Structure formats: C-alpha cells, structure tokens
Chain A
Amino acid sequence: MQFALLIYHSPEEFAMRKNDYNDPHLGAWRAYYKALVEAGVYVGADALEVPETGTTVRVKEGKRRVQDGPYADTKEQLAGFIILELPSVDAALEWAARCPGASLGAVEVRPLAPEAKRRGFTG
C-alpha cells in the first residue's frame, strides 16, 4: 500500500529554508531520507518552494481567474510530500512521527488511491 506524507510548515520554518543551505534542520532531513531509503519503504519525495511563489488558477463560467499565492489561506502551508510503500497505516503513522516535519509543523498521512483507480484517472 502506498501512503503520502504531506508535510506542513509554519511561516518561521519556511523563513529558515529561504537561506538555502543554512537550514538548521537539513541534517535531520537528510538522515530521515537515508533511513527511509535503507528501510526499503521510499517511493518518492519532493519539496515545494515557499507558499508566496504559488499561483492559484480557477476557471469559473468559462472565465480564468488567477490569484497570487497558495490555494489554502492557512498559517501552516504545504511544504512537500513523501510517498512511501508500507504494509499498513500504523506503519505510516510511525514513519510520520519520525519525520522532522512532525516536530516542526505537522505531517498528514493520506493513503494513495488504489492503483486501479489511479490508472482510471491518468489513462
């Protein structure tokens, strides 16, 4: 079964990330990824740029609407995601608790839709 760990950061955490390689948590993240890969559960992951760089698009009644900034107007914002292959949601919660993002902000665990369903979406 595949699970997504959706990582949410506070504005302070994003601010720290801006100074490129000065992020004090870089070591913890790097170690976390290593542990995921070596435990054989890692499928993929990526980090997102800071929320201010986002642009939100909607098409309403045939009209395009473009808005500056991220979709959700919340204090904590999506900062990245990790996809893991795991036997159960219990194991996914365990890995989420070890994620540096869990002590810095929040990590949402969400199962990926089953593969057959995903193929339906993506053709």
Chain B
Amino acid sequence: MPACMRTIAGIICALLIAGPAAAAAADKGLTVKGVRYFTYPGFTRIVFETEEAAPYVLTRSSDGKTLYFSSYGGPFVLRSPQLPSINDGVVKGMELRQERDHRSIIITLGPAAGDAKDFVLRGPDRIVVDVLRGAAAAVAPEAPAAKAPVVVIDAGHGGMETGIVTGQGVEKTLTLDLANAVRKLLKKSSVKMTVLLTREQDKPMTLDERAAFANAAGAVLFVSLHAATGQDARVFILDPDEGQASPSPGGPSDFQGYDAMSEQQQMLWGTQQARHAQESGRFGRGMARVLTASEAAEPEQAPLAQLKAVDSAAVLIETGMTMNRGKTAEVIAAEIVQYVSEKR
C-alpha cells in the first residue's frame, strides 16, 4: 500500500469481537460477496456485502482522490464477478488491484467528492462507505438557482452499446439527435423548465446511472428515447407489477438521516417508480395519443429495467426509424410542455 496515504479509518469492525477473537477474525481475512452502490443527491453509498463481520481498513490517498479498501489482516477475497461501474461525479470508478500479495479495492473519487464515512451493518453483514458530495458540488452544475421544473431527456444506448443498426442509422445516434432536437424546442418554450440530457455525446451509461442522474437532478419528468425499425411509435411505461410499495419512513436513522434499519435504501432502489405509476400513465397516455394520432392509444406496460429506479413520472418512447424526426421532436416537446405547465 502506498506510504503517502493517510488513514481515515482503520476500523477493527468485528463489532462484538474483542481480544483474542478479534485476532482470530483478522487472520481469517475479509471475504466480499458482492458490491453495490446507490447515488443520492447528497452522497454516494457503496455497500460491500461480506461473508461475515471482519476487520477492514479504509484509507484515503494524500491527494484525496482515491480510497483504498482492504482486509485488516489475512487474505482479502472478492467473490463478486465484477465491480459495479460507477461514474456519478462523486465516485469515478472502482477496480480490484493486486500488489504483490496484497489485494485491495481502489475507489477513484470524482471532482464532486467530499468526505468519506464508513460504518458496519449486521444481518446480513455489510460494510458501508458513504462518499459525501462536496459543498462546492452540492448543487447540480447545470441546475439554475431558480426552481424551474427539471425535465431529463435520456438518449438511449451509447458507446459500445449501439442499439439496433439499420439502413436508416444507428439507434444510439438517432436517439441523441432526437434528444438534442427536443431540448432545443423545450428551451424555446414559454414554460420555464430546466432540460438536462443524460448524455451529451456518444458515451456508455448504465441504466442505473441514467436513473440516478435524473433522481439527483430532482427531475419531475424522465423521457427515455429509443428507436425501432419501421414507422410506428410506441410509448412504454413500467409494468405496475414491477416494484413494491416503498418502505414507510419512520425507522431509526443513521447519521445522515437515512433509514439505517435493515438498510432500507437497498429496498428503495429499483422501486421508486412504483409511486409515480399514475403520473407516468397519464403522461404516457397523452404521449401515445399524440405520437400515434389515435385517441384510443394507450401506453404499453413493460418491465423496463431503465424506468424502475426513476423517482418521477417516466416513460420510454420508441420512435420508428423512418419517422420524420423534426416532426417527432415537435410532438414530443409539445407534450412535455403541456405536462410541465399542468404540474406548475
């Protein structure tokens, strides 16, 4: 481990373990079964699921840009086949590093990262690392001071994930073009709103990152744009069976005011859309009717991975690749304007 780093936490967690038992636990090392992360407006939470409570070390490099997570003694085993891909501004990425006989997980922090705190939860055993969003980055950079409603337009696919490829084009490019066209029209609208794109260029983004982006921006509406062959448009909303009701608040809170009992944030992630089903359905119905020019059109319900974690009204629009893109953008923008004006 580099000597330049300073220890911010060298926790002999083991919780109730003390004395010789602690030494024995240290010898056994630390086995991580899985790694998950959650992006919240104020911080990013990384959860290491461990096989059992064991001592660990979390240190931060002297330049403050990296966290090192490893066992306190004994082997450090990572059973998870892969580490999650994080890039939410607070955390830039994670990787497993082997230096001689020492293994550790390197957490690269982003420009928005502030302090890091860690704690242990039991049943099942977890080590939680919270990287706080720094004061300078507390406000989303693109969000203006005025509290205009935020609309997030998501250009589907990106990077290596091209989406479908036809003679009319590549889906990732068409969706980005359409997203830009919709944003341009919305900015001209008399109804004040902040329009954010999940991606401005051809880059990969996970579905969770897109949802986290919208949630962190406090979006009132999330519109994901996709494309399909042909000239028909379809509007999808989340299958109502997807996601259960959110856990009721009121349990014991951790130091940040988030429910710490049984780590309910974990249950919350992926179920956020359930409480917006009605709004999504209403917006989706309106969008389906204008896009298909049919008063009987209804949005299609599907278990969409992309929408389940979005904490606002959310739809996925699939436009035909041969549709007139300019007109399609106008129709989508007009429906968004109407929705936002009704919400105000």
A and B: bona fide binding partners: no
